[in-house]
Structure formats: C-alpha cells, structure tokens
Chains A and B, each alone.
Chain A
C-alpha cells in the first residue's frame, strides 16, 4: 500500500478463512504478550465447522459504540480511524456491545474493560500473519478509497451467509 495519510481499514474476504486462528495468536501476542484467544481483538468464530471467519471491528461510518459509551471511554483515532478504548475509564458496562450492530466488542476476560480492534496504530498484526500464510483473507486498505458505508454483522448472520455459500441447501440442516 502506498504511503498515504488518513484512516485505514482492513478489507476482508471471509470465505477464504482457513480457521487457522493465526490472527488471534498475533493479536494477543501483540496486545497481551501471551497467546490468549479470548483476549484477542480479532476472534475467529466457528459456529459451524468449515464456516470459520474473523469477527472484528468494522469501523462503522457512524461509530454507534462510541456514541453509546456513557463514560466517554471510546474515541475514534484521527490517524487510523480505529476505535480506541481508554481502559482506565471503561467500566465494562457492555453498552457498546449492545450498540454494535455486529455485537463485536467483548469484555476482557480478566480485566475490567472492553476489547475493540485498535488497528495496531496502522500496522495490523492480524493482516501481517494472514498474508504471510497466503490465505489473504485480510488486507489493509485506505479508508478514503471509495465511499463505502461500513457496518458490522452478528456472527450468526455471517455464519448463515457463508454456510449457504459453502454448503448450499444443506446449510439449513447444519446451521
């Protein structure tokens, strides 16, 4: 990606996901210095075997999570467009989870704050390992490229869609 200023986004082709979960490993190693799948800001869901996909912040156009936060613990990074969590301010009330159309944020398993993808200050580690493997589910792109209106989806909805794509009519029995 050419060096350009401005917000970025992680474009994704979910149906290419192998379920290797290297993104979870890279994210938790980077943020927590441990391999810690449930503390990863990107989590691979597998509600149906074969239908694995990474579930993480989509940086919605209108940032409903930021607006829903009662203590102003969430803000939008001017530089990357990521939602930033002020962990000291956050009370882990869960209002941002409910406000997110994809129910993407989740509470840190042992600490009292919410987890949301921070785009690794513009150098997302999940993208790095995914591309290293050649699966290329994830790609860093400029947010300003086109006028897409971004929004998040719930894991159940994504699962249903991907299962239909993979298994056709059989998806009905499996989901």
Chain B
C-alpha cells in the first residue's frame, strides 16, 4: 500500500442497496494519483467501451467522490466529484471545498464509487466502517440550509444513540443536492456548507438522477500514515507562512475582483458579455466589506487564507439573505453579468442560487443569455411566463431562477444549460441564438474573458481545455509552461485548494506529494507522462461524447462568437480575439498535446503512454 492513502474505497450500488469495500492497485494510484486523474481512469475502465451510449443521467452512469493523497495535509481541504458529465458528455474533475474529504479519509476511505439508481430518495451515512443507505424522503425537496440542518441533527442523534459513552460528536461532513439537483437541472451542483459547490460538470443533476440526496460522513480515525510527518509539518508551515504574507488576498479573497476585473483588466462578463468593462464603484470590495460581510475570515480544513467571507443583507427588501462573499465568479455572473451592481442584490441572488442547489456561474450564464434574448426581442414577456427580464432587475432574475430549479414553464427549457437551450430556441424561433451563447463544450465559460488580453486566460484556454469553459482548468502553451492545464490536473488529482499555493514555487507541491506518499515525482515526469495520460483520457471521453451531443474539434475547439466581437468600451475598447491567431495556436497545441490535425489523440502517442485501449476506441471517431 502506498503511504498517504487510506487504502480502501467504498463501492455502493444504489439499485441493489449493496455496499462493499474495494482496493485499487498501487500502480493505478501511482499513475493516476487520485481525484480527477483517478476518476478518468475508473470511468474509462468501466464505461469506455460503450461511452457514447451512456446517458449521464441514466442509472448506468457512475458517480465518484474522490480524495487525493494531499487531501487534509495540504492546507485547505477539498473533495473531487466526477462521472460522465451531462454538460460536456466527457468528464470533469469538479472539486468542492470543505471537510468532507478529510472525514472520508478519517473513516478509512479514499473515495466513494456510486452505481445505479435508488428506488426511493436516500442518503448515504458513513461512520468509519459502518456504512448505510437511509431514507431521505423527509429531506427530498428541501433547500440547502434546511437539508444541512435536518441531516446534521439526525446524524448526530444517531451517533449519540449508538455510542452513548463517546461524548459529544461533532457534526458529520455533508455533501448534498438542492431541489435543482433533484429536478435534474443541468446546472445543478453537489454542495457543502450552504455555499460551497462542485459546479462544473453538472454532477448535482447526476446525483439527483440517482435518487441520492446527500452523503454524510463522520470519520473518527486519523488521516493516513505518511512517509515523513516531520517534513509534512514543515511543508504545512511553509504553505501557511506564504499565505500569511498575502494580507489583501486573505482580507478580501476573490471578492475584490467584482470591481477590479471589470474596471482594470476589462475581462468581466457585463450583460451577457456584451461588455467586459465597468467602473461601478458601488460594486467595490469596500462596499461588500463594509455593508454585508458579517464574518471576514471563513475557511475550510487547515486553511491559512480563509478567502471566504460570510455575507448577510441587513436592510431593505433583501434583508436576511445569507451567502458567502460572494466570491468573484458569483459577483460577476450574478452581478455585473445581469446588470446588477450592488452587494445587496448580489448577495440576495447568490443566496437563492445556494439554497436551490444551483451553480452560480452556469445558471448566471443562462440568466444573462435569456436577458439578452429579451433585450433583442427574441424572447417576449409571454415566452418568459410573464417575467420582464430587464437588466438590473434582481427580482425578475430571482423569479426565473426559481422556474429553472423547479423546471416550470420556460424554466424547463433553460434547465438544460445555455448551449442546449440555445439549440432548441434557435430551432423554435428560426433565429441563430448560438451567437449569444458564451460556453465551450456545453460548459459555461468562467468569468475571465480573453479579449483585453490582460487577464490570465489565453485565446485558446477555453477552446482547447478538456473541461471546456472551466476557468480553474484552462489550456495554455507551452504544455509544460506556467498556465498549463497539466497543473490544474495535479491540483484536482492530489485534491487540495490551489488558492493556498499562489506565490509558492511549483516544486513545493511535488515536495508535499513526496513527503506524504514517499514517491518521487518531478514536474518533468508529471508533464511528460502522468498528467498527459490523464489529459488524453479526458480528451478521448470528451470527443467520444454522446448520446445527445458530440463535439467536432474543427468547429467546437473554438471560442464563443462573442469573443470575436470588439470590446465596446473601456480602456481596451476595440480589442478582440484574432481568429487566425486562435487557429495557429490551436494547431500548435494539438501538436504539443500529441493530437492529430483533427484534434484526436494520435495512435503513436497513446501507445507510448500505454493507452492502447484508448487508441482502439478512438478508431470509432477517426476515419
């Protein structure tokens, strides 16, 4: 057994209600690490042969909750959720903050592999090696805050009854879905702690399709044995000392960006990306800090940064709304993208999104898209069930959010996410509305534009990523360079919060990996073999796709049409993306990644990585 792993995984079949422990070969863990990498391997091995026919919302999909060797050790705990994505039809390693991964490892498991579909709503309760499926009919339909409240109480009472002499049990860590996940809304999330979410991928819908409301875990054991505990302690201190130096990052988190990314780098979605610039000081971080933040430092397991803040509206019509920060992404997507520029409106909409179990980024993307169609007269008030979806009207957007979560009226169409909804609307309205869609491979693009050239993503970052619009896993050249997707693969496979690694030398995370596992891993080896293998698996599954949609690299390895329009205002007015440059970089990227001119991984390169079966499967799309 490799050090740094608990050594066991839980396999749960919801259809037959059977639960068993399994182990995964050391060689597999050595190559695929955990989290995203391991998810790619497991999904490929189990579903690869028939990938195109697997309905992501059908019982044959597999839902994964995986930790990595650094989970709990590297400051800032996360958990990776994966499966076949109903958004991209490929896979996303979607991570969520919180203590779930730590509790799971303290229970003796590195992950949970879920099959099938429950006959009635249920939740999984794990207390060390005692694992059971329990009835969830009393929490089905409940929002985030009520679900957390009821299950926290229920599980603690169970523990107290079963272990009366132990003393007080702390709460279990809970991952759950809201009503949106239950209703299989494609932008539904797997969530934790009211506000934390695994958003990209649409795994809330997958969890809902399986009839699983939540997983609650209480582990009373230690984190796994490591290779060198002294070294781990020193590295924790190093990561913390580095984070403590960054005063503004700690004080404001990403919450300063709602103003700065618009005003300074001009790369923030404004009114469905019709603009990327604004200078609205009503949206400055000082407004959030002074008016709505009631807890300035909020963090997950071991976190020295605590970039999260708890916000609550104290006055006015949105009084009582509670959420975190909002962070930059939600400031943008549930703020500027909808023409909203006050903390109160932003907190109100973010809290609603949390409560319903929706992804703020991707639902905000749908809302902005719908509002632009309304602006252009393509959507009428009647189409929107009586809602006048004007920019800046928080109540109108809230009404539409509820319709989406419960799939009522127009909400049912928009619940498919922006891209799929746009295909249907184009057909029904006989107008090409795809030109207003800002996404890549079915995944909404995070709130960092490319037109000004002043933000971190490059012009092929979203076009060539194996996770589409996911802003935490963007592609860049060179493939072993600083912005490469291969580092994102490390973060999501070792499973920790990379927000605590800013400003640290890249070597530190590999030192950390060695101190925990005892295994030598150099950045070079990572880039030239291990990460590349994971990238190819993800690329293969993305291109095989299906059953409802398939991606053609020639067409779909591209930016959304909007990113080729000139920026209409601000310091970078007139700037846009050069199509010829995108094509040029795309060709270079294909070459570096070992893909042929059609964007399909080449036989020779796959075989070099030991992926003969992937090569064979890709014959299905090669001709």
Contacts and interface: CB of A to CB of B under 8 A. Distances in A.
Interface of A: 16, 18-22, 25, 28-29, 32-39, 43-50, 55, 92-94, 97, 103-107, 109-110, 114, 132-135, 154-155, 166-167, 169-170, 173-175
Contacts of A107: 165-167
A34 B229 contact: yes
Nearest to A45: B170
Interface string B78-108: 0000000000000000000001001000100
B272 interface: no
16 contacts: A18-B298, A18-B306, A22-B304, A32-B222, A34-B222, A34-B229, A35-B72, A36-B222, A36-B223, A38-B170, A46-B170, A49-B148, A97-B167, A104-B167, A105-B167, A175-B149
A113 to B, nearest CB: 12
Contact of B194 (A33, A38, A49): A49
B244 A93 contact: no
A20 B312 contact: no
B149 A106 contact: no
Given A37-B106, A97-B165, A18 B294 contact: no
Contacts of B453: none
B145 A174 contact: yes
A20 B307 CA distance: 11
B320 to A, nearest CB: 5
B136 interface: no
B244 A134 contact: yes
Contacts of A169: 320
Nearest to B236: A25
A131 B164 CA distance: 35
A32 B222 CA distance: 9
A88 to B, nearest CB: 19
A77 to B, nearest CB: 21
B299 A19 contact: yes
B299 A173 contact: no
A106 B106 contact: no
Counting contact residues on chain B (CB < 8 A from A), the size range is: 35 or more
Contact of B304 (A97, A114, A133): A133
Counting chain A CB atoms within 10 Å of each CB, the highest count among B73, B145, B222 belongs to: B222
A94 B165 contact: yes
Contacts of B72: 35
A38 to B, nearest CB: 4
A50 B295 contact: yes
Contacts of B221: 36, 38, 109-110
Interface in B204-237: 219-223, 225, 229, 233, 236
B222 A28 contact: yes
B553 interface: no
A35 B223 contact: yes
Counting chain A CB atoms within 10 Å of each CB, the highest count among B164, B219, B295, B306 belongs to: B295
B208 to A, nearest CB: 22
A154 B167 CA distance: 11
A50 B222 contact: no
B613 interface: no
A93 B194 CA distance: 37
B590 interface: no
B303 interface: yes
B388 interface: no
The DSSP consensus for interface residues of chain B is loop
Contacts of A135: 297, 306
B299 A174 contact: no
Given A38-B170, A48-B149, A21 B302 contact: yes
B193 interface: yes
B362 interface: no
Contacts of A29: 229, 233
Contacts of B152: 47-48
A23 to B, nearest CB: 11
A20 B304 contact: yes
A88 B306 CA distance: 40
B302 A25 contact: yes
Given A50-B310, A92-B165, A174 B302 contact: no
Given A22-B240, A175-B149, 18 more contacts: A18-B295, A22-B302, A25-B302, A29-B233, A35-B223, A37-B102, A44-B170, A46-B170, A48-B148, A97-B165, A104-B167, A110-B221, A132-B240, A132-B244, A135-B306, A155-B168, A166-B295, A167-B312
Contacts of B327: none
Interface in B224-261: 225, 229, 233, 236, 240, 244
Given A28-B222, A36-B223, A45-B170, A18 B165 contact: no
B322 A20 contact: no
A33 B229 contact: yes
B171 interface: yes
B220 A38 contact: yes
B195 interface: yes
A166 B299 contact: no
B298 A45 contact: no
B65 interface: no
B301 interface: yes
A159 to B, nearest CB: 10
Nearest to A166: B294
Nearest to B314: A168
Interface string B256-270: 000000000000000
Contacts of B168: 45, 55, 97, 103-104, 106, 154-155
A75 to B, nearest CB: 19
A166 B310 contact: yes
Contacts of B299: 18-20
A94 B160 CA distance: 13
Contacts of A49: 148, 193-195
A139 to B, nearest CB: 17
A175 to B, nearest CB: 7
Contacts of A35: 72-73, 222-223
Nearest to A15: B295
Interface string B279-310: 00000000000000011011111111010001
Contacts of B164: 94
A103 B167 contact: yes
Counting chain B CB atoms within 10 Å of each CB, the highest count among A28, A34, A35, A107 belongs to: A35
B302 A20 contact: yes
Contacts of B225: 34
A115 to B, nearest CB: 8
Nearest to A173: B145
A105 B219 CA distance: 18
A166 B295 CA distance: 8
A109 B220 contact: yes
Contacts of B170: 37-38, 43-46
B322 A167 contact: yes
Contacts of A22: 240, 302, 304
Contacts of A19: 298-300
Closest 4 CB pairs of A and B: A106-B167, A36-B222, A94-B165, A109-B220
Interface string B155-196: 010000000111110110000000000000000000001110
